Structure 1
Amino acid sequence: MTNDPRVSRDHSSRQAYWMADVVEHHRLRHDLAVIRLIGDYVPFTAGQSVEVEVPQFPGMRRRFSPALPPSMDGKMEFHVRTVAGGWCSGGIVADTAVGDRWKLSAPQGMFTVDPDGDEVVMIAGGTGLAPLRSQILELARHPEPPATYLFFGGFSPRDLYAGDMLVILGHSLPWLTVVPVVERLEDPSWPDQWHERHRVDIGFDEDDLIQGTLADVVGSHGSFGRHQVLVCGSPAMTRSTVERLLDTGTPPERIQFEGA
């Protein structure tokens, strides 16, 4: 048994777990929240996911990808979107409160970037951004990261919930290029009180937006035969984008993909 005080052990499952407390809960859209925690050091790798158990749903575990790389000071961040018919994800988005204690376990996944390898193409739909942002911040810890191109997509500009953060990252990391993609240039007519409440001055300019699906926009660039390619988003977005990458000549061994 480990003597590390940061690690607890669930004797019923014989699986290590770690605890963290919610310190911030930002509901950015009607169906999306960014949740920040501080607690035990969790030994995952940037790009992996972890199992999460929250106090509102004891005994129920959901898998999310941290949006920050591992931190010895125990800082973690999750981007959670309500899944249609998913009352657990909806409850996390709506009911999480500062002071809630989360139980984290079972890091897994092989969604990785070689910091000494070829240029990187990242393709993120919605909260599929989280593990890719973690990878970007991990790359920033290296002295000479490869040129990295992040395609971040949504249905409308309102879906690009992390525009302010990505604009700041793009300005501060000379090797990072952010490409915002939307299927339509106008937001829906119905209001989103959370979007209005958290509207900020920093974000993507309308002239920066490229219209189309992520699959179409990425496919227009041709083959990425000499790139590390990572795709993360909804199952439909991931499937269509990977298919387009293969159709345009990107070798399958160059592509890593995860559903969000």
Structure 2
Amino acid sequence: MTIDIALIRHSWLLVAPAAEKVTMHFYGKLFSEYPHIRELFPPAMDLQRDRLLRALTQVVLGLEDGEALGGYLGALARDHRKYGVRPEHYPAVGQCLLAAMRANAGGAWLPAYDEAWATAYRYIAEVMIQAAEEDAAHAPPLWTGTVVSHEVRTSDIVVIGVEPDRPYPFRAGQYATLQSAHWPRVWRPYSIANAPRHDNRLSFHVRAVPGGWVSTALMRHTRVGDSLLLGPPRGSLVLDRARTPHLVFLAGGTGLAPLKALVEESAWMPERPSIDLFHGVRHSGDAYDVQDLRRLRAQHKRLRIIQAVSGEPEHWPCHTAVDALEYHRVTPDGDVFVCGSEEMVRETTARLRAMGVPADRVHTEFSPERPSFVRS
């Protein structure tokens, strides 16, 4: 199967300016012609439309790298099992997607684009269907977790302990999507804040986002003993990406969670790396995990932790995590892991590059050139 990448890219340039219309057209057509598929989706579709656009962008930009694209599609397929997606749904999605792009190309759509996208979509569907079938042979589509701890640490941050109903095979640095009974079919991603444990328990750091359905439910309306649904583990912010013995971790807010998991994992390595962890918060009261970090520091022995406060002028020095890195004259001569808000990751990555840190030494869950996921 040969995909005409040039035609795919050219046609994408036609519809990209009208991306929002494309997604609205797509879902309108899909739900009107295949109403039984509507039940797989959440009541509100705003974030779902955004996810479709991001997935399409990722596919279009990644067509040359077949191995990486296959990995991305495989992870997407495994995650989609939790929605109840079946092989027979793929033709309907492909047909409606092509119709939506054709209708929003400003009259410039060519028959050759139809053929190129049909070929590309057949490849996408085949990869995803095969990955989902292989995953189904050894893993459930989702896990049911019981809330075993619920610690409110600040006015808007809670640390939740969850015990899945069966082994949950993840790696330190990965994330899981969670669904609360308060919002059926609404999933949000949260980084797992611990390395794998013998008791199979998971820890999540949740910041309640104003207007956020799931985060508010987890913060305000969840209690010990409640059940949550968990999607399969995803993400690639793992220690295997590092190639140097000195690591710098830069965390913003609850972006601390996956980096904390990496510290925990590294503490048990025969040749543990030395780690400088900079945790940036806006206000000193937002430093929600001080005790656990002290425990990790005592356990790790080669870990240094520096708290940076950026939103209090009276707090001196007034620093972000990357400001603190420069202030303490820590040379980022090894691998650097960055996690936080989209803005924090983008600005921190730009600062690191300006310091001369090579791009392949800066590790984030998502590239600064494309949006990260939204936790709400």
* 1:239 equivalenced with 2:365 (yes/no): no
* 1:109 equivalenced with 2:235 (yes/no): yes
Label 1:141 to 1:240 Cα distance change in 2 as closer, same or farther (>3 A). Answer: same
Partner of 1:119: 246
Larger radius of gyration: 2
Partner of 2:307: 180
Q: Distance in 1 between matches of 2:269 and 2:298?
A: 17
Partner of 1:80: 206
Deviation per residue, 1:117-139 (Å, 9 max, x gap): 43110011111011011111111
Is contact 1:155–1:182 with CA below 8 Å preserved after alignment?
Answer: yes
Partner of 1:196: none
Structure 1: 5+ residue stretches without partners: 1-8, 188-205
Moved more, 18-27 or 106-115: 106-115
Moved more, 210-219 or 116-125: 210-219
Partner of 2:274: 147
Question: Could you say which structure has the higher strand fraction?
Answer: 1
Deviation per residue, 1:153-184 (Å, 9 max, x gap): 10121011111211222233211110111115
Look up the SS of the partner of 2:233 in the other structure: strand
Is contact 1:180–1:210 with CA below 8 Å preserved after alignment?
Answer: no
* 1:129 equivalenced with 2:236 (yes/no): no
Partner of 2:112: none
Partner of 1:248: 355
TM-superposed deviation, 1:73: 2.2
Partner amino acid, structure 2, of 1:12: G
Q: 1:47 is matched with which residue: 153, 173, 184?
A: 173
TM-score by length of 1: 0.81
Partner amino acid, structure 2, of 1:245: L
Is contact 1:218–1:245 with CA below 8 Å preserved after alignment?
Answer: no
Is contact 2:183–2:213 with CA below 8 Å preserved after alignment?
Answer: no
Deviation per residue, 1:221-252 (Å, 9 max, x gap): 3752x311100011111111111101111111
Look up the SS of the partner of 2:364 in the other structure: strand
Q: Distance in 1 between matches of 2:317 and 2:266?
A: 26
TM-superposed deviation, 1:116: 7.0
TM-superposed deviation, 1:61: 0.6
* 1:33 equivalenced with 2:105 (yes/no): no
* 1:17 equivalenced with 2:89 (yes/no): no
Q: Distance in 2 between matches of 1:140 and 1:99?
A: 31
Partner amino acid, structure 2, of 1:131: P
TM-superposed deviation, 1:143: 1.9
Look up the SS of the partner of 1:211 in the other structure: coil
Partner amino acid, structure 2, of 1:240: E
Q: 1:159 is matched with which residue: 283, 286, 291?
A: 286
Label 1:181 to 1:163 Cα distance change in 2 as closer, same or farther (>3 A). Answer: same
Q: Distance in 1 between matches of 2:220 and 2:189?
A: 18
Partner amino acid, structure 2, of 1:174: K
TM-superposed deviation, 1:77: 0.6
Q: Distance in 1 between matches of 2:144 and 2:273?
A: 34
Partner amino acid, structure 1, of 2:236: M
Q: Distance in 2 between matches of 1:73 and 1:172?
A: 19
* 1:212 equivalenced with 2:319 (yes/no): yes
Q: Distance in 1 between matches of 2:142 and 2:236?
A: 20
Q: Distance in 2 between matches of 1:119 and 1:10?
A: 38
| Higher RCO (C-alpha under 8 Å, 6+ residues apart) | 1
Partner of 1:257: 364
Partner amino acid, structure 2, of 1:23: V
Look up the SS of the partner of 1:180 in the other structure: strand
TM-score by length of 2: 0.57
Q: Distance in 1 between matches of 2:313 and 2:323?
A: 19
Percent of aligned positions that are identical: 33
Label 1:52 to 1:73 Cα distance change in 2 as closer, same or farther (>3 A). Answer: same
CA RMSD of aligned residues (A): 2.4
Q: Distance in 2 between matches of 1:249 and 1:11?
A: 43
Q: Distance in 1 between matches of 2:83 and 2:218?
A: 27
Question: Could you say which structure has the higher helix fraction?
Answer: 2
